[in-house]
A and B are shown apart, each in its own frame.
Chain A
């Protein structure tokens, strides 16, 4: 074997191992009865006891913010135990105006537990907004909803019950994209959320290393204050705080009960999908670079963190690998065993496809949806292009991260404004930098 063959064999084995591991994480929720029951929400509720502060960071959400506020107000929980803080950068006057209209209407109905907070110091992004909100928070428990979220009306009762019964300081409840048949990539995007929140998060929780989600996450306020709040310079502050909590051995309870998930929607265009992914990937790489994960208590946690945070790199490699292996297969005479070996990652891709197909039916059944008979075929057709999208976004993130590595200051800056490129699920809370003039900003709004 020459050096290129050894490299190819090593790459094949590595990718196969990672795919197998990834598949096992996807299927973790179906592993056994313990995992199955652990996912379920409690059947009965404890009487309300905990005080919640709901943070609602928003940015250019004039279209939806009033509905969002209404939905949060409608949550079934005693109003005296809920504080809602809408956090907006003071330059976003149109959204502020809508919020003020809504607040006035609510006060007219005698509803007074909702407040607007504005801020005007940089960086202008979601974590900064969250930190501003945290300073004003009075509840025992702080949680976050995004502007387009549809939380379950009973979510606070459910979380109150879990936290009270289990003395859980942190609860992450499931977030689920729902519009699986809207766009060609929707089904696969929806399934990613499905497998992530229903399955993989539990594995992370069991190991004790949880990159938290961006919303429907409930954390004790005291704990948040002690942690110093969110990292304002991080693109994925949610994953970052999860790892920092794990560093402190704080147990994180995951609940993915199909009924209680917070419903969201997939990005409306491919462009936005890629930008969302780019940010997530870059955020992971950032968290990787920050190195907090090295302080995790055990080797298992550290390895899992490394694996999770490196996933953009793996994804990028997964993108390049088929090209190299195909080229070797066609133009270099490979020994047959090696040729078989180079095929293994492709086999794993088939397994991912099968899991996705089965997952589609698990998802639709769980949410009482009836998939069209064409859905599986769409999934089949879109599977490879979707992998291509993921790979492209990963490559893009790696490339951008490398480019921005020249100086941390500059990256921080870029990081701050790059958030403006992001898709609506989280980035909507983030204002654009003044000097950013490209057309990306329009796309974000969707």
Chain B
């Protein structure tokens, strides 16, 4: 026959010998090798799978997040990427990932979306174990050597570290090994050759670096042709591979994105159009110093990362590949192994842009090279020595891994915790309408619905903000004010600067840390400690609006009993009732207002119309009044009457105002002062009890209008004087820190201020649970009236500013908050902050030093939020006062405390919105 002399298979590469006398021919040895492969698979399952969700951290590598996000886009948006596809990587890898997620019931079947991807990586790895074993066997290695190659592939700390990451490189490797396994079919079936070609094409469509395996594959395809395949042998591999690969440029061509586009004048590359060839050349022609430059990225990774993790596999594998190359001139199997190992290594070492995980490409072949050489050594040993030598080698390498310390962290450390906790907290506590610039790794879980939280439709990775015009220009409009939050890690500014991300940089400059999550430091040279930070840009946004609403909901459900806001002991005080009324007015919540007022009106008003202080067990237990509660209640009635056009409320409020003057205002030396309550006014003592935090000039300015018969203006003037003086006075201390005291005594006769003695209070001069409200009151007065005294009073709060910025003992960290109780001289009494204190500090510092105010707001208000099904709470969910002041602090920060008396129209329009 004409072709009888052509295309004889070269003996030595899967020859008839392997078929007739090889391992698979005898059932007994099939069982034996099948057991070996099964054991290897179990070892791989444990080594790869154990602790794989925790180590390495998914916050370590952007690419995991990028591929996961693209899989999400395929799955839910039916696009290749969530944003513009720029041909950085061909898409098959993450299409496979999307298919996996689709088949397993979504992104979060195994935890986070990256966890789901890691399960897929485990499965791919388990698939590669028998394939690698078969390939080694078919390329001439004996069984012990093939088993060693597979063990290295599954146990090397270098391999384990990078193989656990969700990377398309692993999908590519799976397909490449499958292609190789099919090509080395052993029976020369043409269909296997064609499938092999298809798999190789798909591998290239996962990652172009698969092309570095092409010379080895073609070499095998040529050596591997059988007579019966005729002229279809090599073509049967090449054409399918080529056709599948060409789908990628075809896609680009059909999209009009294959060729670079040129601007006029010709010659300058247009930056705003993506093109496959453009990206390809940009990726591959970047200069990196050349192969023999010791400082190129390859050699630097060898020095700092790869070699340290596993010198045996890296250096040993390379040396073995060189030996195989030398052997290859007489042995085609050795040549195939050498080509498959050396060309990928040369590609990595070429001096271009190399990333640490790209070593994945070489790992199975490094093991294969070692096995090739080991097999030759074993073949020279007498039979009994083979098993012993194999065991010795395995134990020696295993011991090396163990004693180097590179091995254990893979199974014990949990650096992924930081990112996991951060995602959970953000999902729970940040409003989902916020515009967030994030790291790649957290993008998908935030963007997607699930993990007990909503989808965040406006979350963008910082790379996209810097480079994608559809995000940078259309969404952020190149303005940091359009950012609400940044999710960062400590060194991220470098990336912002490198990518010229002005939006993110400016936003970060104008942002404050809400929370920080840190993993345990662990073995730092193998895995850096993970720190994730949430920064809030210094402006109120959708989070504040939502938090106010959710906080009010929580307050209602946790504390409201038919209109009574009861503390944990069941008692109801006038102050909480008045706060509830104000919250309802400002929230435009008429139903709550009516309910609270109805209860208060029925149960707490005294004969004159003011509020008794305390109600418990169906009865009034403290009949006195507190003037702050009365002020607030009257103010709430007036604002409500104005806002809802209710004359009855207006007249009740007006009546109350008059009673307040009659029963709670005392004139001293011709100046009217509002004392702490009717009990203080009625007291026979020479010293009048005044609570500076009951001084609410913004309310008095409205009282002035409904009660023109009384000198409210004089009361405001006297109150401001009292405030300045009380803060300045030493009150028995060597000096004053400038803070207002909780209480102050006013001499009826002389008008002098002094420390007040109260029966139940030990030190009334301290800045404790009352005084911070002074700043809140003055800040609100400044907003409503613009009174210059308000500005100058707030500007005296330097003590608070210094507290926030005070360096702690480590000399690096700043305190970042204000403690809850100080003596009048500034000594800390209670170190831990509370929400009243934080609200006061924010009120003061928003004028004096906004950065400090933002710091406190971010970490002490926003950072203290928690969620339940009934809404949002601040700090201790049982603490009514914390909830009240969390709400007021947020509302003041977000500027939601409108002067409805003078500007009711604003709210009217709000009211008409759906």
| Residue positions of A touching B, CB distance < 8 A | 24, 27, 30-33, 35-36, 258, 336-337, 339-340, 343, 347, 350-351, 354-355, 358, 361-362, 365-366, 368
Contacts and interface: CB of A to CB of B under 8 A. Distances in A.
B1 interface: yes
A32 B243 contact: no
B850 to A, nearest CB: 49
B480 interface: no
A165 B330 CA distance: 45
B229 interface: yes
Contacts of A358: 230-232, 235
A368 B2 CA distance: 6
B671 interface: no
A366 B228 CA distance: 13
A365 B3 contact: yes
A343 B254 contact: yes
A273 to B, nearest CB: 27
A308 B229 CA distance: 25
A30 B250 contact: no
A343 B248 CA distance: 12
Contacts of B39: none
Given A358-B235, A365-B3, A366-B1, A336 B251 contact: yes
A6 to B, nearest CB: 14
A347 B190 contact: no
A32 B188 contact: yes
B228 A365 contact: no
A31 B254 contact: no
Contacts of B235: 354, 358
Contact of B190 (A32, A337, A366): A32
A368 to B, nearest CB: 6
B251 A340 contact: yes
Given A27-B190, A32-B187, A354-B239, 15 more contacts: A27-B194, A30-B236, A31-B228, A32-B228, A33-B188, A33-B228, A339-B254, A339-B255, A340-B247, A340-B250, A343-B250, A343-B254, A351-B243, A365-B2, A365-B3
B191 interface: yes
Interface residues of B, number: 25
A30 B251 contact: no
B695 interface: no
B816 to A, nearest CB: 51
Interface in B138-197: 187-191, 194
Given A340-B251, A347-B243, A32 B2 contact: no
Interface of B: 1-3, 187-191, 194, 226-232, 235-236, 239, 243, 247, 250-251, 254-255
Given A336-B254, A343-B250, A343-B254, A36 B228 contact: yes
B249 to A, nearest CB: 11
A350 B188 contact: no
Contacts of A24: 191
A340 B254 contact: yes
Given A336-B251, A340-B254, A343-B254, A30 B3 contact: no
Of all A-B residue pairs in the complex, the 9 with the closest CB atoms, nearest first, are A36-B228, A365-B2, A339-B254, A336-B255, A31-B190, A32-B189, A358-B231, A30-B232, A30-B190
A354 to B, nearest CB: 5
A355 B243 CA distance: 14
Contacts of B228: 30-33, 35-36
26 contacts: A24-B191, A27-B191, A27-B232, A27-B236, A30-B190, A30-B230, A30-B232, A30-B236, A31-B189, A31-B190, A31-B191, A32-B189, A32-B190, A32-B228, A33-B188, A33-B226, A36-B227, A36-B228, A337-B251, A339-B255, A340-B251, A347-B243, A351-B243, A355-B232, A358-B232, A361-B231
A24 B230 CA distance: 15
Contacts of A366: 1-3
Contacts of A361: 231
Contacts of A30: 190, 228-230, 232, 236
B28 to A, nearest CB: 25
B661 to A, nearest CB: 74
Contacts of B1: 258, 366
A259 to B, nearest CB: 9
Contacts of A340: 247, 250-251, 254
Contacts of B232: 27, 30, 355, 358, 362
B198 to A, nearest CB: 10
Main SS at interface, chain A: helix
B191 A351 contact: no
Most B CB contacts (10 A, CB to CB) among A30, A347, A358 go to A30
A350 B236 CA distance: 13
Contacts of A27: 190-191, 194, 232, 236
A359 to B, nearest CB: 8
A337 B190 CA distance: 30
Contacts of B227: 36
Contacts of B3: 365-366
Nearest to B16: A33
A374 B191 CA distance: 30
Contacts of B190: 27, 30-32
A230 to B, nearest CB: 36
A356 to B, nearest CB: 12
Contacts of A351: 239, 243
A37 to B, nearest CB: 8
Contacts of A368: 2
Given A362-B230, A366-B2, A33 B243 contact: no
A362 B1 CA distance: 11
A362 B231 contact: yes
A336 B189 CA distance: 35
Nearest to A336: B255
A343 B189 CA distance: 28
Nearest to A369: B2
A351 B243 CA distance: 9
Nearest to B91: A337
Nearest to B187: A32
A339 B254 CA distance: 7
Contacts of A31: 189-191, 228
A35 B230 CA distance: 12
Contacts of B226: 33
A340 B251 CA distance: 6
A32 B227 CA distance: 9
A258 B230 CA distance: 14
Most A CB contacts (10 A, CB to CB) among B1, B189, B243, B254 go to B254
Nearest to B233: A30
Contacts of B236: 27, 30
Nearest to A259: B1
A30 B230 CA distance: 7
B83 to A, nearest CB: 16
Most B CB contacts (10 A, CB to CB) among A32, A343, A351, A366 go to A32
A363 to B, nearest CB: 10
